[in-house]
Amino acid sequence: MKKSTAQTILTVATVIWGIFTLASFVPIKMFSMLFDDQSPGNEQVFLFTFISILSLPLFCILTIVLVWILYKREQFLRAVCSCGIPLISLLAVVLGFSIIS
């Protein structure tokens, strides 16, 4: 992979994950309201979803740092592939909310 292509992809990914980091703070603040009105037996689902929401900004920040470290070490393909790490947490959030509703 060319250096310029990798740099473009990493710049776009950095902007996207930065926006996701800022946007994820709103659900973190509001998620405590879901714990007030929960059905018995759903504690594990709520906890799973809450941990997934908490991990999203952490994964986004760590991914931004990781991809640029890999870019500086000229491991362009690994850097581009590492851009998908926050998708794990994002899929877990979607899965948790789909189970809750």
> Looking at residue 38, what is its pLDDT?
62
Within 10 angstroms of residue 16's Cβ, the number of other Cβ atoms is 14
Residue type, 31: F
Higher pLDDT residue, 85 or 26? 85
Task: Name which of 17, 10, 16 is nearest 2 in CA terms.
Answer: 10
> Looking at residue 96, what is its pLDDT?
85
Helices (H), 2-85: 3-23, 25-30, 32-36, 43-72, 76-81
Q: Give the global pTM.
A: 0.82
The stretch 31-55 carries a mean pLDDT of 77
